Amino acid sequence: MGKARRKDRESSSVCSDEPKLYLEEAFLERKLPDIDLKVLVDLPAGLDYNEWLASHTIAFFDHINLVYGTISEFCTMSGCPDMTGPQLRTYLWFDEKGKKTRVAAPQYIDYVMTFTQKTITDESIFPTKYANEFPSSFESIVRKILRLLFHVMAHVYHCHFREVVLLNLHAHLNCLFAHLVLFDARFHLIDTHETEILNDLVVALKLLDNSSGVGVGSSGGASAGSASTNQQSAAGGTATADDSTTSSASQLQSGLIPDQTAGSLLTSSTAMSSAADHHNTPTHTPPQIASAH
């Protein structure tokens, strides 16, 4: 019985560009719709630039790790044998010898979270004590972290958005995506080659003034200050079991989500459990990461 249920979960995660469920009008809502996130990402007067980058980077890590934790049991070695994103994008791993290799999505994401957690808890990189300064390479480190976290979000949208919808977390995911896109648009931290694969979602959510959604990312910035390590909860909170069931039923009636996927999720008792503790202890020392296309 357990094996059959596992097979159902693995087969429910279909990575396909067509159709893109996350572009359906019914799923374009986001939490805090009336709040202007563009104002929230602007650097406050008198606040150090690196301090602002640090606090947002820590928040992005917390939130993305939390969201991924809710669907991680459906992201398996056999169900997601490659780390993929929209538009046939595949993310490759550089091993210790500098060789590009394909790794399964769960392994890739584990390395991403391990690297990020190790970095943001390193006092020499993300200082928290008085008089400690940010390193001169701080902005480039932040760029790398945000790029890798964007890979995780791209994979969730591409391969696991059905599970996110059935857990009634799509509004939270969209809000988190909007926050990351607008923060990047403000400070140009992620290269456009990375973000272009989700430009259609940027347009659908009407996040940027330009209708094409092109122009998110590149490079730039400044430096100095001391980092805040205040951990934040997932944006907008999480859905209750009752909310998830109700949402799933309505989506099934509309025919947007297969019965098999809904059945697997609605009978799962662990999809939402221990999400915040999904990745608390670093277990790897990951090498460099690259993306292929």
| Whole-number Cα distances in Å, 117 to 62, 143, 163, 286 | 9, 15, 25, 12
Annotated ligand binding at 175? The verdict is no
Annotated ligand binding at 170? The verdict is no
Annotated ligand binding at 15? The verdict is no
Q: How far apart are CA 5 and CA 137, in angstroms?
A: 47
Phi–psi pair at 63, nearest 5 degrees: -70, -45
pLDDT at 44: 92
Single out the residue of 86, 254, 106, 257 nearest to residue 167, CA to CA.
Answer: 257
Which token pair is 188?
A: 């140009």
pLDDT at 159: 95
pLDDT at 288: 52
Residues 6+ apart with CB under 8 A from 123: 129, 132
Annotated ligand binding at 160? The verdict is yes
Q: How far apart are CA 93 and CA 1, in angstroms?
A: 35
pLDDT at 228: 37
SS3 173: helix
Phi–psi pair at 91, nearest 5 degrees: -100, 125
DSSP category for residue 234: P
pLDDT at 37: 78
Residues 6+ apart with CB under 8 A from 51: 225, 226, 227, 228
> Radius of gyration over alpha carbons of the chain, in Å?
19
pLDDT at 255: 45
Tell me the sheet residues that pair with 292.
Answer: 90
Q: Which own/partner pairs from 253-262 qualify as long-range (CB within 8 Å, at least 24 positions apart)?
A: 254/26, 256/21, 256/24, 256/26, 257/21, 257/162, 257/165, 257/166, 258/12, 258/162, 260/8, 260/11, 260/12, 261/12, 261/162, 261/163, 261/166, 262/166
Q: What string of pLDDT tens digits covers the 293 residues of the chain?
A: 444 444 444 444 457 666 888 899 888 877 666 567 778 899 999 999 999 999 999 999 999 999 999 999 999 999 999 999 998 899 987 766 777 888 999 999 999 999 999 999 999 999 999 889 999 999 999 999 999 999 999 999 999 999 999 999 999 999 999 999 999 999 999 999 999 999 999 999 988 876 444 445 543 333 333 333 333 333 333 233 333 334 443 443 344 444 444 444 443 434 344 444 444 444 445 555 444 44
